C-alpha cells in the first residue's frame, strides 16, 4: 500500500516521496518497507534503533523520529493504527490461491473444509467439520478431531493431536478506544505456529498475533478450555491444565506448568521449569527458574501454605 494513501486513511499530512508499505509491524521488527507506530511514551527509546520505513506518532513524539524514517503525525496513534490495520488484513478466503495440497496417506473427511492455499502433510487424519484456512499448513501424522477450526496462515506441526471444537488462530482481543468509549478493531494480521509433537485438548482457544506469531513450541501439552492470548510464546514441554488462561504477549520458558484455572497477566516472562499451582494468578514476571508458586496475588507455594495456616487461626480467634 502506498504511503501517500496511508497518510490519507489516517488523516495525516504527508508531502514527501511516497513508497510502498508492505506491512504493519512493531518498532522492533519492522523493516524499511514496513510501517510502525508509537502509542505510548515508553516506546520512544525504541524509535532510534527501529528500521521502520515510517512511524505513526503524535506531535510530541515526532522529534524522536530520525532522518530517513517518515513520521506520520496524528492525534491518536493507537486509534489510527487500528484504522490502518483493516487495510492490511488479508481476505478471509482467497479464490486466487492454489488448490489445497493433501499429502500421501492422509485421510480428509469429505465433510471437512480445506481452503485454497492450504497444505496438509502425509498420513494426517482430518475429521468431519474441520476447517483449515487459506495458506494454513499442517505437518505429517497429525490428527485433527471434528469441528476444529484453524484460521488462515496458521501452522500446525507434525505428530500433533488437536481435539474437537478447538480454535487456532482466532483474532486476538485487540481494539483502540476513542474518547467516547467506542472501540475500533485492531485487525490481527499475525498468525499462530504450533510446533511438532503438541497435543491440544477440546474447546481450547489460541489467538493469532496482532503482528508476528503466537508460538506453541515443541512438545507442549494443552488441556481443555484453555485460553492463550495473542503473541504468547509457550515454551517446549510446557503444560497448561484445563481452564487456565495466558494473557497476551506473555512468554514462558520450557517445562512451565500452569495448574487448572490458573492465569497470567499479559506481557510477562516466566522462567523455565516454573510450576504454578491450580488457581494461581501471575501478575509479575518470574526470573528464577524451577520454583513453585500459588495464590493470587502470587507467592511461593510454601508461603501460601503458611498463609492458609494463619488464615485458619484468624477464623478461630
- The answer to whether the CB of 225 falls within 8 A of the CB of 207 is no
Closer residue to its own copies in complex, CB, 17/310: 310
Cα–Cα distance for residue pair 231/248, rounded to 1 Å: 6
In the complex, least distance from residue 190 CB atom to its own copies, rounded to whole angstroms: 15
**Cβ atoms of residues 54 and 2 within 8 Å:** no
Q: What are phi and psi of 191, to 5 degrees?
A: -145, -170
**Residue closer to its own copies (CB basis): 33 or 224:** 224
Nearer to its own copies, 103 or 281 (CB): 281
DSSP one-letter code for 303:
H
User: Which lies closer to its own copies via its Cβ, residue 9 or residue 128?
Assistant: 128
Number of H helices, E strands in the chain: 4, 35
What span, in angstroms and rounded, lies between the C-alpha atoms of 165 and 149?
7
Per-residue HEC secondary structure of 196-211 comes to CCCEECCCCEEECCCC
In terms of residues, how long is the chain?
317
Give least dist CB 41 to its own copies, A.
Answer: 23
CB of 271 to its own copies, least distance (A): 14
Given the complex with its own copies, which of 73 and 132 has the nearer CB atom?
A: 132
Q: Are strands 275-276 and 149-150 parallel, antiparallel or unpaired?
A: unpaired
Element (H, E) at 84: helix 77-88
Residues annotated catalytic, as ranges: 230
Shortest reach from residue 168's CB to its own copies, in Å: 9
Closer by beta carbon to its own copies, 58 or else 140: 140
Alpha carbon of 36 to those of 77, 85, 118, 310: distances in Å? 10, 11, 29, 51
Please list the residues that pair with 272 across neighbouring strands.
none
CB of 189 to its own copies, least distance (A): 15
CA–CA gap between residue 161 and residue 56 (Å, rounded): 42
Amino acid at each position: 500500500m502506498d504511503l501517500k494513501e496511508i497518510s490519507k486513511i489516517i488523516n495525516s499530512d504527508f508531502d514527501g516521496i511516497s513508497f510502498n508499505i508492505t506491512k504493519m509491524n512493531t518498532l522492533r521488527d519492522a523493516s524499511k518497507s514496513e510501517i510502525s507506530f508509537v502509542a505510548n511514551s515508553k516506546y520512544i527509546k525504541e524509535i532510534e534503533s527501529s528500521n521502520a520505513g515510517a512511524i505513526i506518532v503524535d506531535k510530541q513524539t515526532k522529534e524522536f523520529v530520525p532522518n530517513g524514517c517518515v513520521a506520520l503525525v496524528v492525534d491518536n496513534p493507537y486509534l489510527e493504527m487500528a484504522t490502518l490495520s483493516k487495510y492490511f488484513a488479508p481476505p478471509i478466503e482467497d479464490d486466487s490461491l492454489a488448490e489445497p495440497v493433501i499429502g500421501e496417506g492422509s485421510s480428509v473427511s469429505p465433510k471437512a473444509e480445506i481452503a485454497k492455499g492450504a497444505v496438509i502433510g502425509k498420513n494426517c487424519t482430518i475429521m468431519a467439520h474441520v476447517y483449515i484456512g487459506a495458506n494454513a499448513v499442517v505437518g505429517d501424522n497429525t490428527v485433527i478431531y471434528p469441528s476444529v477450526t484453524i484460521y488462515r496462515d496458521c501452522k500446525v506441526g507434525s505428530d500433533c493431536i488437536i481435539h474437537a471444537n478447538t480454535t487456532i488462530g482466532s483474532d486476538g482481543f485487540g481494539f483502540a478506544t476513542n474518547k467516547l468509549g467506542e472501540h475500533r478493531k485492531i485487525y490481527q494480521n499475525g498468525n499462530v505456529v504450533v510446533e511438532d509433537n503438541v497435543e491440544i485438548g477440546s474447546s481450547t482457544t489460541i489467538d493469532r498475533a496482532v503482528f508476528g506469531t503466537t508460538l506453541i513450541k515443541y512438545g507442549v501439552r494443552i488441556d481443555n478450555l484453555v485460553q492463550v492470548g495473542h503473541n504468547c510464546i509457550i515454551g517446549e514441554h510446557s503444560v497448561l491444565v484445563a481452564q487456565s488462561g495466558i494473557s497476551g504477549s506473555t512468554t514462558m520458558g520450557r517445562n512451565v506448568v500452569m495448574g487448572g484455572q490458573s492465569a497470567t497477566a499479559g506481557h510477562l516472562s516466566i522462567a523455565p521449569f516454573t510450576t504454578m499451582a491450580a488457581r494461581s494468578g501471575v501478575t509479575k514476571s518470574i526470573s528464577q527458574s524451577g520454583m513453585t508458586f500459588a495464590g493470587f496475588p502470587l507467592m511461593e507455594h510454601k508461603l501460601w501454605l503458611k498463609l492458609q495456616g494463619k488464615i485458619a487461626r484468624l477464623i478461630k480467634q
